[in-house]
C-alpha cells in the first residue's frame, strides 16, 4: 500500500526516465533497434529498477498510467533525436497484458505517433510470452490492430512460457526475444545451444527473427554467430544507457 501511494505520487511528479539498450546484428554489430527500459528516479533512494515497481503497478492498475507515460516519453525522445538529425533506429517499448486488455492501446499508439510526427516503423512493441498464452481474444485483436499500423511485434522472455511457435506465427509476431536464462547456458552446457538451434531453425522457417537477450560474453556471441541467431542484446554490447549516451552511440553508427 505504501508503495502504491508512492507510485501514484511519483507519476504525478514525473519521477521516471527511460534508459535505452541497443539491439544489434549478430554478425555486423550494427544497431538494429533499442529497447526503452523505465527507471524511477527516487528523491531519496536514487535509481529504482522496474523489477521493484512494475509488479505493483500491474497489480494495482497503475501500469496503465505508467504505460501511457512510457509511450509518450519514447515518442518524444524519437522526435528529439529526429530533430537533432541523428540516424534513427526503432525503439521498442514493453507493454503489459493489462494495457492490451484496456482495449485502446492501438488508438493510443497511433495518437502518440501522430502527435510527434513519427513513422510507425520507428516504434516496436514487446509483449512477454506469458502474457500471450491462452489465446486471449482481447490480446489477439489488439496485436493485429497494432501490427496493421506498421508497428513490429516482439515476443519478450521467449522460452519461459509454453506458447507454440505456430501460434506465435498465426499472431504474426515478427521477432522472438529468447530469455537470457538460455543465453547464460551457452558455453556451459549443450542444452542452451540445442535450444537456440531448434528455435532459430523453426523461427526462420516461420518468417520470424530471433534475438538473444542477456549476451554478456564474447564466447556467447561466438556461439550465437554459429547458430545463425539474427540479433543480440546484452551487457556485452552495452548496458541500458541514458538518452544522452544513446545519442553518442547513434552517432558512432
Ligand atoms: O531494465 P530492467 O532490465 O531492470 O527491467 C526489468 C524488468 O522490467 C524487465 O522484465 C522489463 O521488461 C521490465 N520493464 C522495463 N521497462 C518497462 C516498461 O516500460 N513497461 C513494462 N511493462 N515493463 C518494463
Ligand atoms: O524482460 P526484459 O527482456 O524486458 O528485461 C530486460 C532486462 O534485462 C532489463 O532489466 C535489463 O537491464 C536486463 N539486461 C539487459 N542485458 C542484460 C545482460 O546482459 N545481463 C543481465 N543479467 N541482464 C540484462
Ligand atoms: Mn523487454
Ligand atoms: Na526479455
* pLDDT (0 to 100) of residue 245: 98
Q: Which atom of ligand 2 is nearest to the CA of 235?
A: 19
Q: Which atom of ligand 2 is nearest to the CA of 216?
A: 19
Query: Distance, CA 253 to ligand 1 centroid (Å)?
Result: 26
Would the pLDDT of 167 be above 90? no
**136 pLDDT band (50/70/90 cuts)?**
confident
**220 pLDDT band (50/70/90 cuts)?**
very high
Task: Give ipTM to 2 decimals.
Answer: 0.97
Q: How far apart are CA 186 and CA 114, in angstroms?
A: 42
Average pLDDT across the chain, whole number: 95
CATH code of the domain containing 202:
3.20.20.450
Could you give the percent of the chain with pLDDT greater than 70?
100
pTM flag (> 0.95): yes
Ligand at minimal distance from the CA of 71 is 1
Which domain, by its residues, includes 206?
Answer: 2-251
* pLDDT (0 to 100) of residue 164: 86
Query: Distance, CA 36 to ligand 1 centroid (Å)?
Result: 8
* Higher-confidence position of 162 and 182: 182
pLDDT tens readout for residues 53-95: 999 999 999 999 999 999 999 999 999 999 999 999 999 999 9
**137 pLDDT band (50/70/90 cuts)?**
confident
Would the pLDDT of 184 be above 80? yes
For residue 42, the cross-strand partners are 46
Query: Distance, CA 218 to ligand 1 centroid (Å)?
Result: 25
* pLDDT (0 to 100) of residue 36: 99
Q: HSE (CB half, 13 Å, CA atoms) of 132?
A: 32
Q: Write the CB contacts of 69 (distance below 8 Å, at least 6 apart in sequence).
A: 11, 14, 16
Instruction: Give the three-class secondary structure for 212.
Output: strand
**135 pLDDT band (50/70/90 cuts)?**
confident
Query: Distance, CA 21 to ligand 2 centroid (Å)?
Result: 9
* pLDDT (0 to 100) of residue 243: 98
22, 50, 183: residue to mutate for ligand 1 pocket, most atoms within 8 A of CB? 50
94 touches ligand 1 (CB under 6 Å): yes
* pLDDT (0 to 100) of residue 196: 94
> What's the grid cell of residue 23?
539491439
- Closest alpha carbon to 69 in 34, 24, 36, 20: 36
Ligand at minimal distance from the CA of 34 is 3
216 touches ligand 2 (CB under 6 Å): yes
226 touches ligand 1 (CB under 6 Å): no
Length of the chain: 253
Q: Which atom of ligand 2 is nearest to the CA of 49?
A: 10
pLDDT tens readout for residues 99-120: 999 999 999 999 999 999 999 9
Count of structural domains within the chain: 1
pLDDT tens readout for residues 2-57: 889 999 999 999 999 999 999 999 999 999 999 999 999 999 999 999 999 999 99
235 touches ligand 2 (CB under 6 Å): yes
Amino acid at each position: 500500500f505504501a508503495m502504491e501511494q508512492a507510485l501514484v505520487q511519483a507519476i504525478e511528479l514525473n519521477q521516471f526516465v527511460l534508459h535505452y539498450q541497443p539491439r544489434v546484428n549478430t554478425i555486423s554489430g550494427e544497431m538494429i533497434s533499442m529497447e526503452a527500459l523505465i527507471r524511477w528516479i527516487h528523491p531519496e533512494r536514487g535509481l529504482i529498477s522496474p523489477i521493484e515497481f512494475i509488479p505493483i503497478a500491474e497489480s494495482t492498475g497503475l501500469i496503465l498510467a505508467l504505460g501511457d507515460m512510457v509511450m509518450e516519453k519514447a515518442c518524444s525522445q524519437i522526435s528529439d533525436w529526429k530533430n537533432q538529425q541523428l540516424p534513427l533506429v526503432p525503439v521498442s517499448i514493453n507493454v503489459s497484458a493489462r494495457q492490451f486488455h484496456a482495449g485502446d492501446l492501438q488508438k493510443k499508439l497511433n495518437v502518440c505517433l501522430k502527435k510527434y510526427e513519427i513513422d510507425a516503423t520507428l516504434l516496436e512493441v514487446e509483449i512477454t510470452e506469458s502474457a500471450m498464452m491462452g489465446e486471449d481474444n482481447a490480446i489477439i485483436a489488439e496485436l493485429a490492430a497494432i501490427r496493421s499500423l506498421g508497428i513490429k511485434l516482439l515476443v519478450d522472455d521467449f522460452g519461459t512460457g509454453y506458447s507454440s511457435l505456430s501460434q506465435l506465427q498465426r499472431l504474426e509476431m515478427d521477432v522472438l526475444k529468447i530469455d537470457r536464462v538460455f543465453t547464460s547456458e551457452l558455453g556451459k552446457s549443450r542444452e542452451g545451444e540445442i535450444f537456440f538451434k531448434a528455435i532459430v531453425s523453426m523461427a526462420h522457417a516461420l518468417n520470424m527473427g530471433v534475438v538473444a537477450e542477456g549476451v554478456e560474453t564474447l564466447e556467447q556471441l561466438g556461439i550465437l554467430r554459429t547458430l545463425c541467431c539474427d540479433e543480440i542484446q546484452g551487457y556485452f554490447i552495452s548496458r541500458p544507457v541514458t538518452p544522452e549516451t544513446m545519442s553518442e552511440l547513434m552517432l558512432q553508427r
